[in-house]
Amino acid sequence: IKDCRTRYNGDADHHQRRKKFSFPARLLCGDCYEVRLDKVLADDAPFDICSCQFALHYSWSTEARARRALANVSALLRPGGIFIGTMPDANVIIKKLREAEGLTFGNSVYWIRFDEEYSDKKFKASDPFGIKYTFHLEIFN
């Protein structure tokens, strides 16, 4: 939260440029895949838009967590509200795994590695939750 607060407030020059476009922010720390956010954010809801970028897949560790994530979005958006979400495509990841010689695939920018428990490269379609892998992304400055 400290890092987020620093980025939100910015330096003095940034603050002056942003004044006419400012919006209020309330920073909370918690697991939004475990907690009912409609109770936590009751004073602020409903929202026009909700954005979750490259984090929603963490809720797919269990079906209950995935359902809580989607229930939170549904409960907090006003009718006609918009949800913008980005997450990895499991079908693409599994396809690339099956095409790989081992349990690791990627390129010069990223790699994904599965543990030995997935050495047969078979997954139950009936249980898409809790499939763990390690993801690495190179950082460029």
pLDDT (0 to 100) of residue 47: 95
Q: Which residues pair with 111 in a beta bridge?
A: 106, 136
Mean pLDDT, contiguous 10-residue spans, the chain (141 residues)? 79 63 77 94 94 92 96 96 95 96 97 96 90 92 69
Tell me the pTM.
Answer: 0.78
Indicate the SS3 state at residue 4: helix
Are 132 and 115 contacting, i.e. CB atoms less than 8 angstroms apart? Answer: yes
pLDDT (0 to 100) of residue 23: 72
User: How far, in Å, CA of 61 to CA of 12, rounded?
Assistant: 41
User: How far, in Å, CA of 49 to CA of 80, rounded?
Assistant: 9
pLDDT (0 to 100) of residue 20: 59
pLDDT (0 to 100) of residue 25: 77
Alpha helix (H) residue ranges in 19-89: 37-40, 63-76
